[in-house]
Structure 1
Amino acid sequence: MNTDHQFYPYPSKRMAVHGRKGMVATTQPLAAQAGLRIMQNGGNAIDAAIATSACLTIVEPNSTSIGGDSFALVWTKGKLHGLNASGPAPQSISIEKVKSMGYDSMPGQGVVPITVPGTPASWVALSERYGRLPLSTVLQPAIDYALEGFPVSVEIGRYWNIRFHEFKNKFKGEEFAEWFKVYAPNGRAPYIGEVWRAPDHAKSLQLIAETNGEAFYRGELAEKIVHCVNEYNGFLSMEDLARYQVEWVQPINVNYKGFDIWEIPPNGQGLVALLALQILKDFDFHSKDSVDTYHKQIEAVKLAFVDGLKYITDSRSMSVTEKELLSEQYAKGRRGLIQDEAILPEAGEPIPGGTAYLATADEEGNMVSFIQSHAGDFGSGVVVPDTGICLLNRGSGFSLNPEVANRLEGGKKTFHTIIPGFITKDNMPVGPFGIMCGMIQPQAHVQIVMNMVNFMLNPQAALDAPRWRWIKEKLIEVEPQFPDHIAQALIRKGHAVQRAIDSGMFGRGQIICRDEKTGILTGGTEPRADGSIAVW
């Protein structure tokens, strides 16, 4: 994998960034700088990841919050570790109860889709197991930004304003009143460049820091969360919060062209990316910008996604295992379905056997791939009074069809869209990578991995390249800058191609790679966002 600067025929806002002692890459400059300061003040890459994550809940509030979920892949002491900090549905919820409230499918906002938040528990778990500094020190930059305020950055301000106008017309119930009080204090979204302060967020972060997370799951904050949800006929209870524990999991991988690509196992959709790469690995790709390359990528992703949507849910409820889905025999059968024309994908039968991303690395060799979300911009839209905590709506991913794998059940985790990625080669770390934004994530993982492995693009060029995303059946959407001659050639192969008017739904990613021989770090950050790399 080449991390040197090189020519690429698409416009780039940035060049790849190099450093030696430490690097933080994320979608907001203030959060990246906060993580770097933690490293410069004696913390490691894990401390920096926690600090950056906490800051993102303040400086990028449309994408993530204290009341969201998280996943992480952590390379430390020669091994990769996985953390699943997604939360389950409340124990008392059921398909019957939700349907009795008049719903035919899970609602997107309000109290019904609220699940147990896992992000604060992820900070505690990472700090206790791998961190060097006290959690109170690591969370202090986020507390400072919340108290003192910060000027809203460009892309975040744009989406904040869009959501305000949507919510103004949509959110009429009393349960949404606190959202407008906190996030539209002047009767509007903050302007780009305007200072926004979040004193309630600061108080909540301070309580989490002082109690090592206990206040959120068993104390003062837990009581306020449950009172708020129950006041509007939700299902979350004190017991749901008190019993919550993060899961340390064994990451899953496939070997693609000599590189091991790692993801978190289900309930996350990282398995979809691995399924697609497993299908693609035996093809030869000679040019990035050829219709054959794009066609095979799209067909493999389609096949992987229909399998993922059929089978992925809480791992305890899956009818097949990731090992069965990733078997060579199964991949061979799926690979054989890819012909010269676009197909309508169908799930196979294997033989039994609103998001923010960040990456950090330090000079000791620690590296973190961390992703967090409250699902959809501003999650459920329900903000707990006097806390600033915007609760997630991850339960909206459940199905009310009792016959499908991802059906709603109390205490169960839903199919989860947010996925951190990591690359190794010969049992040595290459580095963390990730793309945020719903169902594009595994599709973009495939495109990013192939950009770097097959076509030798450096991290920044790999992110700059135009993307496509599969929507359904034979329909794909391409970015405005996607080459027209390729789009036309894909149409001739039977794909239905539509061109997006902007790049808002094509994900925002970060990549850090380490050169094994020199230890030099090379980073790329997303040109579609306010991305930034802080480095020393």
Structure 2
Amino acid sequence: MPRLLPTLLATALLALSLSTTASAADRITGHPFATRSEVHAPHAMAATSHPLATQIALDTMKAGGSAVDAAIAANAALGLMEPTGNGIGGDLFAIIWDPKTKRLYGYDGSGRSPRSLTLAEFQRRGLTDIPSHGPLPVTVPGTVDGWFALHGRFGRRTMADNLAPTIRYAREGHPVHEVIAYYWDRSVPRLGKWPGFTEQFTIQGRAPRTGETWRNPNLANTLQAISDGGRDAFYKGDIARVIGDYFAANDGFLAYEDLASHTGNWVEPVSTSYRGVELWELPPSGQGIAALQILNLLEPYDLKSYGFGSPEHVHLFVEAKKLAFADRARWYADPEFHPAPVAKLISKDYARERGALISMDTALREVQPGTPRQLDEGDTIYLTTADADGMMVSLIQSNYRGMGSGMAPPGLGFILQDRGEQFVLQEGHPNSFAPGKRPFHTIIPAFATKDGEPWLAFGVMGGAMQPQGHAQILINMLDFGMNLQEAGDAPRIQHDGSTEPTGQNTAMTDGGEVDLETGFPYETVRALMQKGHSVRFSHGPYGGYQAIMKNPYGGWTGASESRKDGQAAGY
């Protein structure tokens, strides 16, 4: 223990030094800390959470592929290289800017619950919440369907070309990166008991180490089958039969018929304006519109004059988040079962009405959802690509809870998601479990436009942090003048403890907890506590960020998350 003291002392001194200032002396801009400069390129750009996936995306566009081809190729690679956050056993959402039609397209690639599983079955088992792992939280994986839907409208290369780099890496191997190795090691003890996981996702029972070569020949075979047979090879062929047989043999309910009947949906993105920029999100069942609600609530305040990291900045952000998330718990669900009054929720009038609840002096301890009248109207990967023709893709994909359910059908090389944990085992709740229903979704891509023109494709991974992160990126850029990389690297705020759409937590009655990443001044922490906030230190819940911005001088600007293994690069 004594030998650890110098290290602990150095760590404490570093934390103290960072907590007294939001800037780093070695940055020539003088703005809040950034780990590196923005990346600029004239033709194309990719930003992903793994350098090899970024290179695959660039190679795809150099070979004539569109930004959508590049996004698919990178997503396939991330499923192999970063199985701690995604894979073809999960769901996918995307927003695409098409330069030909000069408009945005949204895709909801989420899957539904097994049709043979009922609320009564959970009650028969004596469950009050859906388990986090194992066969019961598994829903239909929508990613492969999403790839083919996006490719069918915007792809230029063949799907075989898009999948070929990952198939090769899966057979020949690739070195595992540091952050991925860390989360993989944490997952093995939790998921090793589920059939197929240890055999396919460990090296003799342990996670691969940083720099160690990882191969997944089973996934290579699965991707080759999809490459040869198309979408139906996954949803209606032998892969679907193996999945159905596997769950039938392991106390599960996901069946061949559930996969065979799956379809994703093209949806219209929705937006609000903030400081002259339009932020676009996908409507529920995802949580994207919470970011729009947060920005609407904050727009009346002069955050710039308060300054980044000031007590006013943090307090107002947290209070706006509380109000938005109260509505999130009440209204966000599968619209086929529980349509939300989206237009009202994201309106400026509604924000003014709800904003009256914010006090500059006192933290809200309890927040009820609003009652808008209907008008006529946790781990993940995020990646973004942009090509020489001006197409931009904002794509997010996840297995939920890192590596998902732990259920890995034999010989297929991937794990099924556990997104169904987000359902509520309570009749009458908007997110109550029902057969063939989509659960509440946390994963959300974002896009921003200026004067009707594309400006920014970006995302921030990480459960409930995602809409909070989306709002913070725009606030950092538009209120505090940060560049694209600085906006992602600046210390983040996360509020935790709001009433959840999943019903798994009791309603917020104590104001929740404010997590502040290292870099906020102690004076801010003290002022927040005086307003009634509970402030704590939490290591790691602040999400992961990638972004591509249209450079006003031509070409692209990229940024990547310093908290992960990612890379932004272009040519």
Band of TM-score, shorter chain: over 0.9
Cα distance change, pair 319–41 in 1 and its aligned pair in 2 (3 A):
closer
Matched, 1:350 2:372: yes
Shift of 1:352: 2.2
Alpha-carbon separation, structure 1, partners of 2:119 and 2:195: 28
Q: Which of these residues, 87, 109, 133, is aligned with residue 65 of structure 1?
A: 87
Cα distance change, pair 319–211 in 1 and its aligned pair in 2 (3 A):
closer
Q: Secondary structure at the match of 2:316?
A: helix
Alpha-carbon separation, structure 2, partners of 1:8 and 1:228: 57
Alpha carbons 1:314, 1:412 under 8 Å: kept = yes
Shift of 1:128: 1.0
Shift of 1:231: 1.1
Match in the other structure for 1:334: 354
Displaced runs of 4 or more, over 6 A:
none
Match in the other structure for 1:521: 556
Letter in 2 for 1:235: F
Letter in 1 for 2:548: I
Q: Secondary structure at the match of 1:145?
A: helix
Q: Secondary structure at the match of 1:308?
A: helix
Matched, 1:488 2:512: no
Q: Which of these residues, 55, 70, 73, is aligned with residue 33 of structure 1?
A: 55
Shift of 1:520: 2.4
1:68-467 equivalences under 5 Å are: 68-76=90-98, 77=100, 78-168=102-192, 171=193, 176-285=194-303, 286=305, 287-340=307-360, 341-344=362-365, 345-353=367-375, 354-467=379-492
Match in the other structure for 1:510: 546
Cα distance change, pair 495–389 in 1 and its aligned pair in 2 (3 A):
same
Q: TM-score if structure 2 supplies the norm length?
A: 0.90
Shift of 1:317: 2.4
Q: CA RMSD in A?
A: 1.3
Q: Secondary structure at the match of 1:83?
A: strand
Cα distance change, pair 236–166 in 1 and its aligned pair in 2 (3 A):
closer
Shift of 1:202: 0.4
Alpha-carbon separation, structure 2, partners of 1:481 and 1:163: 29
Letter in 2 for 1:330: Y
Q: Secondary structure at the match of 2:135?
A: coil
Per-residue deviation, residues 82-106 of structure 1 (Å, max 9, x unmatched)? 0000111111222111121232111
Alpha carbons 1:6, 1:458 under 8 Å: kept = no
Per-residue deviation, residues 236-275 of structure 1 (Å, max 9, x unmatched)? 1222111111100000100111100000111010011111
Alpha carbons 2:309, 2:520 under 8 Å: kept = no
Alpha carbons 2:491, 2:520 under 8 Å: kept = yes
Alpha-carbon separation, structure 2, partners of 1:6 and 1:294: 26
Structure 2: tracts of 5 or more residues without a match: 1-26, 498-510
After the TM superposition, which of the residue ranges 7-16 and 77-86 deviates more from structure 2?
7-16
Matched, 1:23 2:45: yes
Alpha-carbon separation, structure 1, partners of 2:55 and 2:185: 25
Alpha carbons 1:91, 1:411 under 8 Å: kept = yes
Shift of 1:185: 2.5
Alpha-carbon separation, structure 2, partners of 1:43 and 1:34: 11
Per-residue deviation, residues 40-64 of structure 1 (Å, max 9, x unmatched)? 1111111100000000000001100
Aligned residues: 523
Shift of 1:9: 4.8
Letter in 2 for 1:308: R
Cα distance change, pair 8–416 in 1 and its aligned pair in 2 (3 A):
farther
Alpha-carbon separation, structure 2, partners of 1:215 and 1:447: 41
Letter in 2 for 1:496: S
Alpha-carbon separation, structure 2, partners of 1:34 and 1:246: 26
Letter in 1 for 2:364: I
Alpha-carbon separation, structure 2, partners of 1:157 and 1:94: 37
Alpha-carbon separation, structure 2, partners of 1:6 and 1:89: 52
Per-residue deviation, residues 285-344 of structure 1 (Å, max 9, x unmatched)? 122232111111110011101110111000122253211211222111111111121102
Q: Secondary structure at the match of 2:196?
A: helix
Alpha-carbon separation, structure 1, partners of 2:118 and 2:518: 42
After the TM superposition, which of the residue ranges 10-19 and 148-157 deviates more from structure 2?
10-19
Alpha-carbon separation, structure 1, partners of 2:519 and 2:177: 24
Q: Secondary structure at the match of 2:336?
A: helix
Match in the other structure for 2:505: none
Q: Secondary structure at the match of 1:510?
A: strand
Structure 1: tracts of 5 or more residues without a match: none
Alpha-carbon separation, structure 1, partners of 2:56 and 2:66: 13
After the TM superposition, which of the residue ranges 232-241 and 135-144 deviates more from structure 2?
232-241
Q: Secondary structure at the match of 1:255?
A: strand
Q: Secondary structure at the match of 2:402?
A: coil
Q: Secondary structure at the match of 2:86?
A: coil
Alpha-carbon separation, structure 2, partners of 1:158 and 1:366: 35
Letter in 1 for 2:340: V
Q: Secondary structure at the match of 2:29?
A: coil
Match in the other structure for 2:567: 532
Alpha-carbon separation, structure 1, partners of 2:113 and 2:469: 28
Alpha-carbon separation, structure 2, partners of 1:11 and 1:457: 10
Q: Secondary structure at the match of 2:455?
A: strand
Per-residue deviation, residues 397-429 of structure 1 (Å, max 9, x unmatched)? 000011211110111111100000000011000
Alpha carbons 2:110, 2:142 under 8 Å: kept = yes
Alpha-carbon separation, structure 2, partners of 1:499 and 1:178: 37
